[in-house]
Chain A
Amino acid sequence: DAMVIQNPRYQVTQFGKPVTLSCSQTLNHNVMYWYQQKSSQAPKLLFHYYDKDFNNEADTPDNFQSRRPNTSFCFLDIRSPGLGDAAMYLCATSTQGGETQYFGPGTRLLVL
């Protein structure tokens, strides 16, 4: 089945220690998104890629970076995680003209 995959499902990191979350997709969609979702809140868009074109949200902290080496993979790098970065990180994909975003299972990040 075509799908969006996120690894790992749970990630524990230390305060200030860089961490990378990964997302892959078999849907062959050219748009990929990263969302942050804190407890009891709605998902918040961090950035997205149209193919290799990176689109950052204005209020996304510089601490968050992203890489998309090819169509299938996208990475979220948190350079110096703080306690406030503990959250669920959701990856989603869509076609460029597509209206619907399809989400992966998420990675739950814990910062100690």
Chain B
Amino acid sequence: AQKVTQAQTEISVVEKEDVTLDCVYETRDTTYYLFWYKQPPSGELVFLIRRNSFDEQNEISGRYSWNFQKSTSSFNFTITASQVVDSAVYFCALRKASGSRLTFGEGTQLTVNP
């Protein structure tokens, strides 16, 4: 069985602070994919990143960065110099290579205050 845990239900920061959203996963599969999605108040799930299990390179995209560590089964997401527009619910998700179902974590509500 697969499981994704986002232990932080809510995080509140002040604009320009850095913030890290934690994601821990469980799977017996050796090949799988990890994702982060952003869900602003409008409701749409916006794809942010996909990481393959065999690629542990960290990734940076503008103010966003992701740290994937198989040894600790974690795929953490850091926003540098947060902005009010970053306020949203962020979901971490897992999909095994042979399937189509996404297993979501419960989400982390990030509020960035001006």
List chain A positions with a Cβ less than 8 A from chain B: 31, 33, 40-43, 45, 48, 50, 55, 57, 88, 90, 92, 94, 99-106, 108
Contact = CB atoms under 8 A, between A and B. Distances in A.
Contacts of B107: 40-42
Contacts of B37: 103
Given A105-B44, A106-B43, A108-B43, A99 B105 contact: no
16 contacts: A42-B105, A43-B45, A43-B102, A43-B104, A45-B101, A55-B100, A88-B43, A90-B43, A99-B95, A101-B47, A103-B37, A103-B44, A103-B45, A103-B47, A105-B44, A106-B43
Interface of B: 33, 35, 37, 42-47, 50, 52, 91, 95, 97, 100-102, 104-107
Most buried by B among A55, A106, A108: A106
